[in-house]
């Protein structure tokens, strides 16, 4: 089965430590793909000249967004958009240094590719390991290791090869090298080597440029044929006594989180397990023969089935389990620590359940990757936790399905999101 998908959009993120060149890299991409507005460009050129710089300071492009970022949004992730003839791009940029973990987990949850920046002079650092671990944890399938500032090491191939070997050694240890597609590029974001243009300083590198990788990489959902998952958001049941035909119309509205569905397919509605077939699919008022991932549609079934928000329509042959206990990796997002004594709400797709903490098996030191015993969780902690649920949830493992394998934890008293979970 081939899965249809929106291949014209790629979501990616950049990870790097302070001064590795994240802003410069993004600026260079925007500049060389000519997606900056002319007046913005003039401003930057003028400012760079005033500061006595020979080249245009591309970090000014993204730093202009700093003020926006600082307006106290809870999760501090900036999104930037650009497009080429081939694709549209959404870049998630997770700044902030202490809050790095939670920002990165948030930014990474929808990204399909992560660029991990390494300063060629410094090589693989603790932060590199941390970024890589988090990218792995949140299941980003494509990793580009960008060895930046090659101009400062005389574009030396041996330096690049050494960093590549070091990275691969720890990526294997982590299981990252086996599970993900990793590519390495030597570059100078400042001069523009190997981002959009190859230039001629590194003829020894025959691989793709950054933009070539971005243009080619499969977008989300396109790589594995995922199972059909349709959490019901709303049941549309018009009551129109003047129009008795409409009594038959009961549409289930929602978004196809994964897979695809066609008219005539055998489906099961969970958690009750009612079975039926798809009678019709509508996109707005347009009838469709089939629907695929990321489409928001209305599904009509052949039988009258009592269904409500929070139920999930799946194909009968590939139904997930409805479970009342889940094991997950949790990233704690709140300043108030997780307390095992309290009751939380777990929100999973369009469904919620009250939840109690079963056990916190361990938390992970993201710098050393060591597992440590703990009694609570503080902001930025990542831990393996089990939850006991009051209501069953229809879950997949996060590895298999990033939509139905993820959930958020909500504090009942404040209604704030306090944790993000990935089901093991
Ligand atoms: N020589 C050289 N300098 C670079 C390169 N890329 C970035 N820089 C410089 O490194 C410094 C930091 O770059 P930024 O792009 O601001 O780094 P950043 O990672 O965004 O830093 P934060 O925004 O503080 O996280 C700036 O002075 C850049 O001009 C490069 O490829 N070569």
pLDDT of residue 102: 72
Q: Please give the structure tokens belonging to residue 186.
A: 């030597």
Task: Out of 19, 57, 78, give the residue to mutate to test ligand 1, the one with the largest number of ligand atoms within 8 Å of its CB.
Answer: 19
**Looking at residue 3, what is its pLDDT?**
37
Least confident of 13-17, 255-259, 325-329, 355-359: 13-17
Half-sphere CA count of 180, side-chain side, radius 13 A: 28
290: pLDDT strictly greater than 70: yes
Asked if residue 245 has pLDDT above 90, the reply is no
Q: Are 199 and 183 in contact (CB under 8 A)?
A: no
pLDDT digits (tens, 9 = 90+) for 292-315: 988 999 999 999 888 899 999 999
User: pTM value?
Assistant: 0.77
Which residue has its alpha carbon closest to ligand 1 atom 2? 149
Region 251-272 average pLDDT: 94
| Inter-CA distances, 305 with 86, 88, 240, 276, 278, Å | 44, 40, 19, 8, 12
Note the helical H segments in 110-156. 126-137
Q: What is the pLDDT of residue 220?
A: 65
Residue whose pair of structure tokens reads 């990870």 in the numeric block: 15
Tokens 């997949």 locate to 396
Tokens of 356: 């109690």
For residue 93, the CA-to-ligand 1 centroid distance in Å is: 15
For the domain covering 8-216, report its CATH number: 3.40.50.300
Mean pLDDT calculated for residue range 225-239? 85
CA distance 306 to 74: 38
Mean pLDDT to the nearest integer, 84-113: 75
Query: Tens digits of per-residue pLDDT, 365-409?
Result: 877 788 999 999 998 889 999 999 999 999 999 888 888 999 999
CA of 169 to the centre of ligand 1 (A): 26
In sign, the C-alpha dihedral spanning 391, 396, 399, 405 is: negative
State in Å: Cα 149 to ligand 1 middle.
8
Candidate from 158-167, 324-333, 360-369 with smallest mean pLDDT: 360-369
- Can you tell me which residue has the tokens 């994964």? 258
Using 50, 70 and 90 to split pLDDT, how confident is the model at 346? very high
Q: What is the mean pLDDT of residues 171-195?
A: 91
Give dist(CA 369, CA 155) in Å, integer.
32
Q: Are 352 and 310 in contact (CB under 8 A)?
A: yes
What does R_g of the chain's alpha carbons equal in angstroms?
A: 24
Question: What does pLDDT average to over the chain?
Answer: 85
CA–CA separation, 412 and 248 (whole Å): 38
Mean local confidence (pLDDT), 154-183:
92
Cβ-contact 405, 348 below 8 angstroms: no
Tokens of 1: 């089965």
- Asked whether the domain spanning 321-423 has the same topology as the one spanning 8-216, the reply is no
Instruction: Please state the atom number of ligand 1 nearest to the C-alpha of residue 27.
Output: 15
The CATH topology of domain 229-318 is: Elongation Factor Tu (Ef-tu); domain 3 (2.40.30)
Q: Across residues 90-118, what is the average pLDDT?
A: 77
Indicate the helix (H) or strand (E) that contains 22.
helix 22-32
> How does residue 4 score in pLDDT terms, banded at 50, 70 and 90?
very low
Residues at CB less than 6 angstroms from ligand 1: 16, 18-24, 59, 148-149, 151-152, 188-190
Q: How confident is the model at residue 317 (pLDDT cuts 50, 70, 90)?
A: very high
Which atom of ligand 1 is closest in space to residue 193's alpha carbon? 31
Residue 157 has pLDDT above 60, yes or no: yes
Distance 22 CA to ligand 1 centre (A): 7
The lowest-confidence range among 149-153, 176-180, 211-215, 370-374 is: 176-180
Range 154-176 average pLDDT: 94
Residue 126 has a pLDDT of 83
- Domain ranges across the chain: 8-216, 229-318, 321-423
E strands present in 181-301: 181-186, 229-236, 251-255, 260-262, 266-270, 274-283, 286-288, 290-292, 296-301
DSSP string, 271-340: TTTEEEEEEEEEETTEEESEEETT-EEEEEESS-----TT-EEEEGGGPPEEEEEEEEEEEE--SSPB-T
Indicate whether 284 pLDDT > 90. Answer: no
3-state SS assignment for residue 179: helix
Cα 200 to ligand 1 centre (Å): 21
* Exposure b/e, 287-322, CB count within 10 A at least 16 = b: ebebbbbbbebbbbbeeebebeebbbbbbeeebbeb
CATH H superfamily, domain 321-423:
Translation factors (2.40.30.10)
Host H or E run for residue 392: strand 382-395
The DSSP code for 193 is: B
What are the pLDDT digits (tens) for 31-63? 888 775 555 666 667 777 777 766 666 666 554
34-48, 169-183, 228-242: the lowest-pLDDT one = 34-48
Atom of ligand 1 minimally distant from the CA of 148: 31
Residue 165 has pLDDT above 90, yes or no: yes
Higher pLDDT pick, 204 / 90: 204
CA gap 250, 7 in Å, rounded: 32
Contacts of 276 (CB under 8 A, 6+ apart): 266, 267, 269, 301, 302, 303, 305
Which residue, by CA, sits nearest to atom 13 of ligand 1?
21
pLDDT surpassing 70 at residue 207 = yes
Handedness of CA 368, 171, 90, 15 (dihedral sign): positive
Q: Report CA(119)–ligand 1 centroid distance (Å).
A: 9
Confidence at residue 176, expressed as pLDDT on a 0 to 100 scale: 85
* Cα–ligand 1 centroid distance for 120 (angstroms): 12
């Amino acid at each position: 089965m081939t899965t249809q998908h929106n291949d014209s959009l790629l979501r990616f993120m950049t990870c790097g430590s302070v001064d590795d060149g994240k802003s410069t890299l993004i600026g260079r991409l925007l500049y060389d793909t000519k997606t900056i507005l002319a007046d913005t460009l003039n401003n930057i050129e003028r400012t760079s000249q005033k500061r006595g710089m020979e080249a245009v300071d591309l970090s000014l492009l993204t730093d202009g967004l700093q003020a926006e970022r600082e307006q106290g949004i809870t999760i501090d992730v900036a999104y930037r958009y650009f497009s080429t003839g081939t694709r549209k791009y959404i870049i998630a940029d997770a700044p902030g240094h202490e809050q790095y973990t939670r920002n990165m987990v948030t930014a990474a949850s929808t990204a399909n590719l992560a660029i991990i920046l390494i300063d060629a002079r410094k090589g693989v650092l603790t932060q590199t390991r941390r970024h890589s671990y988090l990218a792995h944890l949140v299941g980003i399938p494509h990793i580009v290791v960008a060895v930046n500032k090659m101009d400062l090491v005389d574009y030396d191939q041996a330096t690049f090869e050494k960093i590549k070997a070091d990275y691969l050694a720890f990526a294997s240890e982590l299981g990252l090298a086996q599970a993900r597609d990793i590519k390495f590029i030597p570059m100078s974001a400042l001069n523009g080597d190997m981002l959009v243009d190859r230039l001629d300083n590194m003829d020894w590198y025959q691989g793709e440029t950054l933009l070539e990788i971005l243009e080619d990489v499969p977008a989300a959902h396109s790589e594995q044929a995922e199972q059909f998952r349709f959490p019901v958001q709303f049941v549309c049941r018009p009551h129109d006594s003047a129009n008795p035909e409409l009594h038959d119309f009961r549409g289930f509205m929602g978004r196809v989180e994964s897979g695809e569905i066609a008219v005539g397919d055998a489906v099961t509605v969970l958690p009750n397990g009612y079975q039926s077939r798809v009678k019709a699919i509508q996109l707005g008022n347009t009838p469709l023969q089939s629907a695929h991932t990321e489409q928001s549609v209305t599904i009509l079934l052949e039988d009258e089935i009592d269904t409500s928000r929070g139920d999930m329509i799946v194909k009968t042959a590939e139904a997930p389990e409805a479970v009342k206990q889940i094991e997950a990796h949790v990233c704690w997002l709140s300043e108030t620590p997780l307390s095992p004594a309290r009751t939380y709400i777990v929100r999973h797709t369009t469904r919620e359940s009250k939840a109690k903490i079963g056990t916190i098996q361990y938390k992970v030191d993201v710098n050393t990757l060591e597992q440590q015993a703990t009694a609570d969780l503080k902001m930025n902690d990542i831990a393996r936790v089990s939850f006991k649920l009051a209501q069953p949830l229809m879950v997949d493992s996060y590895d298999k399905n990033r939509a139905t394998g993820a959930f958020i934890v909500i504090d009942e008293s404040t209604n704030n999101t306090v944790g993000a979970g990935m089901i093991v």
